[in-house]
Amino acid sequence: MSKTPVIAIFDVGKTNKKLFLFDEQYKRVHEQSQTFEETTDEDGFPCEDVDALGSWIWKKFWEISLLEDFKILGVNFSAYGASLVYLNDYRKPISPLYNYLKPYPEKLKKQFYNTYGGESLIAKQTASPVLGSLNSGLQFYRLKHEKPDIYQQVKYALHLPQYLSFIVSSRTASDITSVGCHTHLWDFQKHKYHQWVYKEEMRTKFPPIYRGDKIVSIVNDSRKVPIGIGLHDSSAALIPYLTSFTEPFVLLSTGTWCISLNPFNHTLLSDYELHQDCLCYLSYEGKPVKASRLFAGYEHEQQVKRLSNHFHTAYDYYKTVTYNNELSKDFQPASRSQKLGGKTAMVQQSAFKERDLSNFPTYEAAYHQLITDIVTQQVRSTNIVLNGTPVKRIFVDGGFSKNSIYMNLLANAYPNIEIFAANIPQASSFGAAIAIHQHWNQTPLPNNLITLTHFKASENVSI
């Protein structure tokens, strides 16, 4: 029996680690999932168990290589960003995989920005807000100044996606999507590493940098197998859209964070945008992608708990509520300060937090109001990256794309832009596979990778 040609994708999130096999038509033909208990670093702060993760990647790669039903034609990786693995001369990890949520020392932070021109200048040059440990470059700076004995042993610093690739290929590389993801490492104006990286003599500790479609090869069963160098997961998730659509669009990726990605906004970040938590990613082709984010999924989760307690319903009762145009006409407008949603676009709480639930006769009415308030914030956040660009379509994927109230209200808010709910399961995995399509797949890319549902604005309803 002939084997099915496939690509293997390792998709590593903070919680779930997944392995997918896709055939040449990008149909998922195999899936495995794994979780690991966190360990702690030397300060007792929770962090990824890098040894357990590395062992799992290595073990699963060889397991799938021996499967009788599949022939592995390629391998790639997507993983969360802002995480560095430090390798010594023997190419072994020499420190914990420090958590990007770990608080950053205020004294060291001041030292860094005072040395290199101040927060505003660095943020603008690197197209990233000041985010502490979420700026992975600052993690490396911290290692150098707090643990110089470990720093001196560092041969290579790899972002997590590239470390995963290294486990399989034994080749070190830097990837533009990881370096260009709110790291403070990349100067978006000069298109090179920022000057502070050179002045701290760190440049030589980063391997050569490549586009996200770069591959290396290993010999497996007497044949070469292309291995991708790995991608930052947010940038990987954008790839199916970039390959499917040529007209300007915004991708609104919804989950705990709702991130508006505009690959067609090429203006430099302004101070205002940076203060609104805007940043730029680099696509797998090395092009800037302006993005804004909102903590809307978390806000939804908290307010749904409040609704459940007040109306004595199950937590997930909201899943039964569908869009009602008549209810929409009775929405309570937010005050101007509530519409602004606080000082920044990423603010966690919507106007709904201050609303008196006793004013709503039913759960359905209250839930419509909640989504109205969230969409009000979302419009403000999305507009930051949308304004001044010729975007005519917004694609929404993730959790809110399945929420009929959210989608209809978003369509009402943008009557002159086409709003689509997009369905592409495991978008970051798909993106990692598509990035190296030419190296493993001889068939054309399918034209039905993404399923779209169009939402039109309702009459007499506005946000």
pLDDT digits (tens, 9 = 90+) for 396-446: 998 899 999 999 999 999 999 999 999 888 889 999 999 999 999 999 998
**Mean pLDDT over each residue of the chain, to the nearest integer:** 91
C-alpha R_g of the chain: 23
Q: Are 113 and 122 in contact (CB under 8 A)?
A: yes
How confident is residue 202, by pLDDT bands cut at 50, 70 and 90?
very high
Exposed e or buried b per residue across 188-217, where buried means at least 16 C-beta atoms within 10 angstroms of its C-beta: beeeebbebbeebebeebbbebbbbbbbbe
Alpha-carbon span 41 to 98, nearest angstrom = 7
Overall average pLDDT of the 188-193 stretch: 94
Checking if the pLDDT of 268 tops 90, the result is no
Which pLDDT score is estimated for 334?
A: 46
Three-state secondary structure string covering the chain: CCCEEEEEEEEECCCCEEEEEEECCCCEEEEEEECCCCEECCCCCEEECHHHHHHHHHHHHHHHHCCCCEEEEEEEEEECCCCEEEECCCCCECCCECCCCCCCCHHHHHHHHHHCCCHHHHHHHHCCCCCHHHCHHHHHHHHHHHCHHHHCCCCEEEEHHHHHHHHHHCCCCEEHHHHCCCCCCEECCCCEECHHHHHCCCHHHCCCEECCCCEEEEEECCEEEEEECCEEHHHHHHHHHHHHCCCCEEEEEECCCEEEEECCCCCCCCHHHHHCCCEEEECCCCCEEEEEEECHHHHHHHHHHHHHHHHCCCHHHHHHCCCCHHHHCCCCCCCHHHHHCCCCCCCCCCHHHHCCHHHCCCHHHHHHHHHHHHHHHHHHHHHHHHCCCCCCEEEEEEHHHHCHHHHHHHHHHCCCCEEEEEECCCHHHHHHHHHCHHHHCCCCCCCCCCEEEEECCCCCCCC
User: Rounded to the nearest 10 degrees, what angle do helices 427-435 and 233-244 cross at?
Assistant: 70
Domain boundaries, the chain: 4-229, 230-463
| Six token digits for residue 258 | 């709702």
Which pLDDT score is estimated for 339?
A: 43
Alpha-carbon span 68 to 295, nearest angstrom = 45
Class of domain 230-463: alpha beta
pLDDT digits (tens, 9 = 90+) for 76-135: 999 998 999 999 999 999 999 999 999 999 999 999 999 999 999 999 999 999 999 999
Which pLDDT score is estimated for 387?
A: 86
Checking if the pLDDT of 69 tops 80, the result is yes
Checking if the pLDDT of 332 tops 60, the result is no
Place of tokens 């030292």: 111
Q: Are 2 and 69 in contact (CB under 8 A)?
A: no
Which pLDDT score is estimated for 425?
A: 80
Q: Are 235 and 287 in contact (CB under 8 A)?
A: no
* Torsion sign, CA atoms 213, 260, 163, 86: positive
Alpha-carbon span 406 to 396, nearest angstrom = 10
**Which CATH number applies to 4-229: 2.40.40.20, 3.10.20.740, 3.30.70.890, 3.30.420.40?**
3.30.420.40
Exposed e or buried b per residue across 36-47, where buried means at least 16 C-beta atoms within 10 angstroms of its C-beta: beeeeeeeeeeb
- What does pTM read for this prediction? 0.86
Alpha-carbon span 387 to 367, nearest angstrom = 29
Give, rounded to a whole angstrom, the gap between the first and last alpha carbons of the chain. Answer: 59
